[in-house]
């Protein structure tokens, strides 16, 4: 087979082990007691315990962090995709005044460091009364997710032949009906890929999420800094909280895995 | 496909324009505004012109010294991770199975690090690298290496680079894999009839076909490594000393730590301009190179 490179199984296996090893260590630690963590080096919990997880699921200040994070991630994903779809269609099909500049300007926001925007966002959202709500974080994350969604969707829409639009309009479809009934099913995997990326970048971002919230909408990532207490680090709970933040991502990947392989190949990303 | 001129398309773009303008232009104007003013507190601002910029771009001042030190550090870091991740990503993509259960399994494992919140990535490596409770730190010390990322700047750098390779190589691999999947089987058959070597297949078929995704991968990796904040902040907090204080960490220190608004704002503007210029130059060069090849025939 022309495709094979020498030693490919070994290379892939080594790389996957390299990826899994730190995660294994975190999960391993989350089932240990703090005494076992600090006193001995065990590759497997000697006395597996769920106490660390029990702390998280019974303490509202812990589990509400997860709910807060999921809230703004979902709002952001829905918002980004629904405004990016028509825009991507416009960029893909039409030439209009300033289109190229607008496109580059949009993408340039993807390049803006979050650190630059932290302070102005804080002022802005405090001024309009959205500070410490999921909406503030969701809107702030639109800054980099909308450009990305437009970029991905534009590639997918461009791969749909224009004859399909024209036929639909000749058949008497109105624009919104054509968009929902014909175009969106055709680019379903593209919408899946774009949603995946929006979910991913909103879920993993911390700097803005932490700056724009204080108590009510505090994301789980910020809650995790609490484990440093006067009695020292609570490593077990920290590891359990970390393990739980990996789960939503793992679930999303599992559901979109076939989409991703197909979607990656079809579109531009 | 020829695009139709239609000004009404603006209506479709309007929602995106409104939201992005709201969350980009207004804050950016605030930053520009701060960058030319000085304040002595009490919300009283004074016009300072280009004073902050002069100070920032002069390495002999305190501010300029800090800025350039973190700029060089960040450039070295971006260069190092690009030099490792791009070849590694290509190799992993080439090593991926083409069909069977291995594909889904590898894709899921590859995507896993990408979906871990960045501070948790930092936490994972902070724990993993510790010599008392971390597998890597403990193992290295057991093997006789004097490894301690808290005290030794070189170890801190190695830890952060390995962490970034762990975190982001998958993205490059996934993109390259998508590029490889789009190559029709007929190309390989033609190559095998011609008796092309493995290397020739790579340079003549696979690399050109991956060029588009590689541009995306390099751009994304440059931008994100140049803006890196959370992961090194969690692992080393910018230390030991200032040895892993990258641009974003320096900037957040100035803006949210010291509330030095004018200096922070001037630094923000210069910082953004650097990223945008580098990306624009790279993007233009790469797409022009693509256009030339297209003109010469054969590409795509």
Q: What is the DSSP string of B194-263?
A: HT--HHHHIIIIIHHHHHHHHHHHHHHHHHHHHT--HHHHHHTTT-STTTT--HHHHHHIIIIIS--HHH
C-beta neighbour count of B64 within 10 angstroms: 16
Is pLDDT at A235 greater than 50 in this prediction? yes
- Kindly indicate the confidence band of residue A262, based on its pLDDT and cuts at 50, 70 and 90: low
Tens of pLDDT along B42-56?
566 777 777 778 877
- What pLDDT sits at residue B44? 67
- What pLDDT sits at residue A102? 85
Which residues from chain A sit within 8 angstroms of residue B1, using beta carbons? Answer: 158, 162
Is pLDDT at B218 greater than 60 in this prediction? yes
Which residues from chain B sit within 8 angstroms of residue A254, using beta carbons? Answer: 108
> Any idea which of A117-126, A255-264, B157-166, B277-286 has the lowest mean pLDDT?
A255-264
Residue B1 domain flag: no
Q: A115, B229: Cβ pair inside 8 Å?
A: yes
Range B216-241 average pLDDT: 85
Tens of pLDDT along A67-117?
888 899 999 999 999 999 999 999 888 888 888 888 878 877 877 788 788
Residue (of A106, A168, A171) closest to A143 by Cα position: A106
Tens of pLDDT along A148-157?
889 888 878 8
Alpha-carbon gap: A221 to the closest alpha carbon of chain B (Å): 7
- What pLDDT sits at residue B84? 95
Q: A224, B94: Cβ pair inside 8 Å?
A: no
Q: A121, B272: Cβ pair inside 8 Å?
A: no
- What pLDDT sits at residue B296? 42
- What pLDDT sits at residue A83? 94
- What pLDDT sits at residue B41? 61
Range B18-34 average pLDDT: 84
Best probe of the A interface among B84, B98, B127, by most A CBs < 10 A, is B127
- Angle between helix A8-30 and helix B101-111 axes, rounded to 10 deg: 50
- What pLDDT sits at residue B291? 57
Q: How many domains does chain A have?
A: 1
- What pLDDT sits at residue B244? 85
Q: How many domains does chain B have?
A: 1
- What pLDDT sits at residue A264? 57
Q: From the DSSP assignment, how many helices (H) and strands (E) are in chain B? A: 13, 3
Q: Which DSSP category does B152 fall into?
A: -
Q: Out of B19, B96, B248, whose CB is closest to A113?
A: B248
**Residues contacting A13, CB < 8 A, separation 6+:** none
Report the alpha-carbon distance of residue A268 to residue A260 in Å, rounded.
12
Tens of pLDDT along B181-196?
777 888 888 888 888 8
- Kindly indicate the confidence band of residue B297, based on its pLDDT and cuts at 50, 70 and 90: very low
Is pLDDT at B293 greater than 70 in this prediction? no
Residue A34 domain flag: no
Tens of pLDDT along A79-90?
999 999 999 999
More confident residue, B169 or A9: B169
Cα torsion through A237, A238, A240, A244, rounded to 10: 130
Is pLDDT at B223 greater than 90 in this prediction? no
Residue B257 domain flag: no
More confident residue, A133 or B46: A133
CATH number at B118 reads 1.10.3720.10
> Within 13 A of A40's CA, how many CA atoms are on the CB side?
10
Residue B193's domain comprises: 72-252+283-296
Q: Out of A95, A112, A258, whose CB is closest to B5?
A: A95
Is pLDDT at B18 greater than 50 in this prediction? yes
Report the alpha-carbon distance of residue B55 to residue A141 in Å, rounded.
32
Residue B195 domain flag: yes
Is pLDDT at A4 greater than 60 in this prediction? yes
Residue A261's domain comprises: 59-266
- What pLDDT sits at residue B300? 35
Residue A124 domain flag: yes
Rounded to whole angstroms, the maximal C-alpha distance in chain B is 78
Q: Are strands A232-233 and A228-229 parallel, antiparallel or unpaired?
A: antiparallel
CATH number at A245 reads 1.10.3720.10
- What pLDDT sits at residue A3? 59
Is pLDDT at B299 greater than 70 in this prediction? no
- What pLDDT sits at residue A33? 82
- Kindly indicate the confidence band of residue A2, based on its pLDDT and cuts at 50, 70 and 90: very low
Alpha-carbon gap: B25 to the closest alpha carbon of chain A (Å): 10
- Per cent of chain A over pLDDT 70 is 91
- What pLDDT sits at residue B73? 92
Residue B46 domain flag: no
ipTM, 2 decimals?
0.83
Residue (of B138, B156, B77) closest to A41 by Cα position: B138
Residue (of A236, A254, A262) closest to A39 by Cα position: A236
- In terms of Cβ atoms closer than 10 Å to its own Cβ (0-12, 13-18, 19+), residue A95 is middle
More confident residue, B235 or B283: B235
- Nearest chain B residue to A158 by CA distance is B1
- What pLDDT sits at residue A227? 61
Report the alpha-carbon distance of residue B174 to residue A104 in Å, rounded.
25
H or E, element range at A94? strand A94-95
A136/B contact by beta carbon, under 8 A = no
- Kindly indicate the confidence band of residue B82, based on its pLDDT and cuts at 50, 70 and 90: very high
A20/B contact by beta carbon, under 8 A = yes
- What pLDDT sits at residue A82? 93
Three-state secondary structure call for residue A229: strand
Residue B263 domain flag: no
Residue A30 domain flag: no
Which residues from chain B sit within 8 angstroms of residue A11, using beta carbons? Answer: 91-92, 95
> Any idea which of A41-45, A144-148, A231-235 has the lowest mean pLDDT?
A231-235
Residue A26 domain flag: no
> Any idea which of A134-138, B83-87, B102-106 has the lowest mean pLDDT?
B102-106
Alpha-carbon gap: B60 to the closest alpha carbon of chain A (Å): 24
Is pLDDT at A231 greater than 60 in this prediction? no
H or E, element range at A233? strand A232-233
Which residues from chain A sit within 8 angstroms of residue B23, using beta carbons? Answer: 117, 121, 139-140, 142-143
- What pLDDT sits at residue B88? 95
The answer to whether the bond into B179 is cis (omega within 30° of 0) is no
More confident residue, B59 or B72: B72
Which of A43-57, B157-171, B277-291 has maximum average pLDDT? B157-171
Residue A2 domain flag: no
- Is the distance from CB of B91 to CB of A14 less than 8 angstroms? no
């Amino acid at each position: 087979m022309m495709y094979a490179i020498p030693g490919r199984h070994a290379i892939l296996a080594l790389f996957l082990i390299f990826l899994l090893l730190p995660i294994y260590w975190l999960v391993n630690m989350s089932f240990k007691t703090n005494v076992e963590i600090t006193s001995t080096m065990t590759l497997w919990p000697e006395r597996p315990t769920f106490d660390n997880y029990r702390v998280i699921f019974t303490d509202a200040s812990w589990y509400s962090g997860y709910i807060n994070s999921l809230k703004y991630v979902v709002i952001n994903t829905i918002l980004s995709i629904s405004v990016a779809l028509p825009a991507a269609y416009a960029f893909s099909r039409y030439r209009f005044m300033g289109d190229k500049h607008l496109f580059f300007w949009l993408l340039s926001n993807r390049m803006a460091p979050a650190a630059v925007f932290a302070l102005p966002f804080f002022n802005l959202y405090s001024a309009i009364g959205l500070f410490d709500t999921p909406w503030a974080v969701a809107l702030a994350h639109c800054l980099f997710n909308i450009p990305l969604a437009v970029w991905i969707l534009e590639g997918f829409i461009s791969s749909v032949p224009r004859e399909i639009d024209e036929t639909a309009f000749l058949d008497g479809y109105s624009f919104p009906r054509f968009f929902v009934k014909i175009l969106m099913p055709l680019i379903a995997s593209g919408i899946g890929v774009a949603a995946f990326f929006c979910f991913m970048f909103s879920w993993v971002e911390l700097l803005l999420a932490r700056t724009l919230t204080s108590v009510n909408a505090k994301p789980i990532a910020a809650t995790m800094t609490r484990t440093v207490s006067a009695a020292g680090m609570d490593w077990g709970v920290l590891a359990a909280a970390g393990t739980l933040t990996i789960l939503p991502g793992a679930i999303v990947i599992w559901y979109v895995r076939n989409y991703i392989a197909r979607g990656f190949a079809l579109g531009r990303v | 496909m020829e695009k139709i001129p239609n000004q009404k398309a603006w209506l479709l773009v309007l929602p995106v324009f409104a939201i992005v303008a709201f969350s980009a232009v207004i804050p950016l104007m605030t930053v520009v505004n701060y960058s030319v003013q000085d304040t002595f507190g009490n919300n009283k601002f004074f016009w300072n012109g280009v004073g902050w910029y002069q100070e920032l771009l002069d390495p002999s001042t305190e501010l300029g010294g800090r800025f350039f030190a973190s700029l060089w550090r960040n450039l070295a870091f971006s260069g190092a991770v690009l030099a490792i991740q791009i070849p590694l990503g290509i190799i992993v993509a080439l090593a991926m199975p083409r069909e069977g259960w291995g594909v889904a399994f590898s894709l899921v494992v590859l995507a896993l690090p990408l979906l871990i919140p960045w501070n948790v990535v930092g936490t994972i490596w902070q724990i993993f690298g510790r010599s008392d409770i971390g597998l890597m730190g403990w193992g290295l010390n057991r093997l006789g290496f004097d490894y301690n990322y808290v005290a030794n700047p070189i170890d801190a750098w190695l830890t952060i680079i390995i962490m970034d390779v762990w975190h982001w190589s998958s993205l490059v691999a996934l993109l390259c894999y998508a590029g490889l999947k789009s190559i029709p089987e007929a190309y390989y058959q033609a190559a095998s009839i011609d008796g092309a070597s493995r290397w020739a297949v790579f340079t003549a078929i696979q690399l050109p076909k991956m060029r588009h995704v590689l541009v995306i991968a390099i751009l994304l990796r440059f931008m994100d490594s140049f803006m890196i904040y959370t992961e090194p902040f969690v692992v080393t907090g910018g230390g030991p000393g200032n040895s892993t204080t990258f641009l974003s960490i320096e900037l957040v220190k100035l803006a949210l730590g010291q509330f030095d608004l004018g200096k922070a704002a001037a630094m923000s503007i210069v910082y953004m301009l650097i990223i945008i210029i580098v990306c624009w130059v790279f993007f233009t060069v790469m797409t022009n190179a693509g256009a030339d090849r297209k003109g010469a025939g054969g590409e795509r």
